[in-house]
Amino acid sequence: MKINTLQFGKLEYDENQIVKFPEGILGFEELKEYLLIKTDNELFYWLTSVDNPNVAFPLIGIRLIDSEFLEKPDSEAFGIVKLDKDPLNITVNLKAPVYINQEIKEGFQTVLDEDKYPVSYQLFKED
């Protein structure tokens, strides 16, 4: 199968690479199937909709930010990244993490009740 992505151009993928989100992503509940794409040189992953390749979310593994972040059994936690040309304005949503189980290729997003996780966590800080 082929997909034309904004970030990587045309890519080939197999059906077994699709990560299914039964409930969708908040605000995009109708989109249920995604590819999790990462290149070797990138800090970010891209969660790209198979149904609408114009919809893609940059993600970062939350454990890179907080080693004690709430994990779910067999799933890795990712934060959706808000990119900006100025690295100091790049933020990560830690309040509504995306969890992906790579083994069964299923994911979900949840909103945490805990106040310690912000919607806009500044990823890069000035020294």
pLDDT tens, position by position, 81-121: 999 999 999 999 999 999 999 999 999 999 999 888 999 99
24 band by pLDDT with thresholds 50, 70 and 90? very high
Where are the chain's structural domains? 2-122
Quick: pLDDT tens for 46-92.
999 999 999 999 999 999 998 888 778 899 999 999 999 999 999 99
The pLDDT assigned to 37 comes to: 94
Q: Which CATH code for domain 2-122?
A: 2.30.290.10
Separation of alpha carbons 96 and 117, rounded Å: 9
The pLDDT assigned to 41 comes to: 75
CA nearest 4: which of 52, 59, 61, 39? 52
φ, ψ for residue 15 (rounded to 5)?
-55, -35
- Residues across the chain: 127
Query: Quick one: tokens of 39?
Result: 């290149």
pTM equals 0.91
Separation of alpha carbons 25 and 80, rounded Å: 10
